[in-house]
């Protein structure tokens, strides 16, 4: 049967589709008052299929592919089947000039280099089986304790030492009424990285003609297992013009956030943001109060009204006029400001990625949920289907 996962937090795929269609009836204005980059009829479809090219050989000797999706207004998303990674997003600024707004590399080797693997930034990748941290690399489910690889101090981060970001996904390019698509599938076998159950995962990227990158996640299992899927893109809406994102203005509609300890593991407290540097219920520049947060922002915000498709964040970059609106079916979002980037990585166009070079908005269930009974459950059971959707909508404010 199809399971509407975690009632009150996720809508069914049908509901999300209907709601998205309703939203598309008025695509010209965002909540922040930004006009979208679209200039043509948003119902126009892209008849052509995504273009596939070689992305180079992986260290395992297999060839990774790169797929370029283009919409009716010239926006482009390039995605590799290695890690399901978004390597480039070309969107216009207020003058109509296309520019790449995500951090990444030109070849698959960049994502497998010793420097990248050591620092572990997960540029643009699909994250699983469990996004974010699990305390002590352990959890108990149905009376059995499972041990996972400890790849973040004593804790497990983003699925373990070889999460979904480091596997070669099966890829199928296509098109739909909304735009060009890339469907990625992967079977995570029972016991992989310590997790129980054979987990069949499908992720569909759609670059819509409404200037959105839509990500639909679904998964089934033959044994109860925790699942928390997300995407780990680093955005810089002024990439190439600014080396950091501190001037970006961010709004997150969340009255509470999950308090963490010095290892970034939730204590269980959901603390009000009011009167703290975590209050983004009205727009604030990232750099305005970041010095008040030890290490920088790397926390989960508890989204308000988390039913159906709901807003997770909005971002405005004053120099370029670019805007980003994030909606999701997930109850939380991890806002991360690239605190661990240290200038040792050089990416596309010989760009050096230093501290705060990009920000992430990782829609998700809460960190360490398998060990936090008060948090929304992340347990997927046999016979149920996980369904989740996140949409990144691009626009400009002139």
CB of 157 closer than 8 Å to CB of 133: yes
Compute the mean pLDDT over every residue in the chain, rounded to the nearest whole number: 90
pLDDT band at 307 (very low <50, low <70, confident <90, very high): confident
Which residues, other chains included, contact 264 with Cβ-Cβ below 8 Å and sequence gap of 6+?
A: 133, 298, 367
Residue pair 398/96 in contact by the 8 Å Cβ criterion: no
Closest CA to 77 of 398, 397, 396, 392: 392
Rounded to the nearest 5 percent, the helix, strand and coil shares of the chain are 10, 40, 50
Q: What is the value of pTM for the model shown? A: 0.89
Could you tell me the pLDDT band of residue 306, with boundaries at 50, 70 and 90? Answer: confident
Average pLDDT over residues 330-344: 97
Which pLDDT score, from 0 to 100, does residue 24 have? Answer: 40
Q: Tell me which H or E stretch contains 77.
A: strand 76-80
Chain centre to alpha carbon of residue 224: 24
Hey, which residues are catalytic here? 232, 362
Q: How many helices (H) and strands (E) does the chain have?
A: 3, 30
For the chain, percent of residues with pLDDT exceeding 90: 86
**Both tokens assigned to 191:** 């016991």
15: its two tokens: 């509901």
Q: 168-183 pLDDT, tens per residue?
A: 999 999 999 999 999 9
Query: What are the residue boundaries of the structural domains of the chain, listed by start?
Result: 13-396
pLDDT value at 45 more than 50: no
* Residue 306 DSSP code: -
pLDDT digits (tens, 9 = 90+) for 150-165: 999 999 999 999 999 9
* Signed CA dihedral, 90, 345, 137, 167: sign only: positive
Contacts of 115 (CB under 8 A, 6+ apart): 344, 345
Assign domain 13-396 to a CATH class: mainly beta
């Amino acid at each position: 049967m199809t399971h509407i996962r975690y009632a009150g937090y996720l809508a069914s795929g049908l509901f999300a589709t209907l709601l998205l269609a309703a939203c598309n009836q008025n695509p010209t204005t965002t909540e922040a008052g930004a006009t979208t980059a679209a200039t043509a009829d948003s119902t126009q479809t892209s008849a052509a299929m995504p273009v596939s090219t070689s992305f180079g050989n992986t260290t395992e000797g297999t060839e990774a592919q790169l797929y370029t999706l283009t919409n009716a207004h010239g926006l482009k998303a390039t995605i590799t089947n290695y890690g399901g990674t978004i390597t480039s997003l070309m969107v216009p600024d207020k003058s109509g000039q296309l520019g790449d707004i995500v951090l990444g590399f030109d070849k698959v080797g960049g994502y497998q280099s010793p420097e990248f693997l050591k620092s572990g930034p997960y540029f643009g990748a699909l994250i699983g089986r469990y996004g974010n941290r699990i305390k002590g690399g352990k959890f108990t489910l149905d009376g059995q304790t499972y041990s996972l690889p400890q790849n973040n101090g004593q804790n497990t981060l983003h699925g373990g030492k070889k999460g979904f970001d480091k596997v070669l996904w099966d890829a199928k390019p296509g098109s739909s009424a909304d735009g060009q698509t890339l469907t990625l599938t992967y079977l995570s076998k029972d016991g992989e990285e310590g997790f129980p159950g054979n987990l069949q995962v499908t992720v569909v990227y759609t670059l819509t003609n409404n200037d959105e990158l839509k990500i639909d996640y679904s998964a089934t299992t033959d044994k109860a297992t925790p699942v928390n899927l997300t995407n780990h893109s680093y955005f810089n809406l002024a990439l190439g013009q600014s080396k950091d994102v501190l001037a970006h203005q961010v709004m997150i509609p969340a009255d509470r956030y999950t308090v963490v300890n010095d290892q970034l593991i939730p204590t269980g407290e959901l603390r009000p943001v009011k009167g703290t540097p975590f209050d983004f219920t009205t727009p604030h520049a990232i750099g305005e109060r970041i010095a008040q947060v030890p290490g920088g922002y790397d926390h989960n915000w508890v989204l308000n009204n988390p039913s159906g498709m709901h807003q997770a964040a909005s971002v405005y970059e004053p120099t370029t006029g670019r805007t980003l609106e994030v909606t999701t079916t997930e109850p939380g979002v991890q806002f991360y400001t690239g605190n661990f980037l240290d200038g040792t990585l050089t990416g596309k166009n010989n760009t050096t990625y230093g501290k705060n070079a990009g920000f992430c908005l990782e829609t998700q269930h809460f960190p360490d949920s398998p060990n936090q009974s008060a948090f929304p459950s992340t347990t997927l059971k046999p016979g149920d289907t996980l369904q989740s959707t996140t949409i990144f909508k691009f626009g400009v404010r002139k």
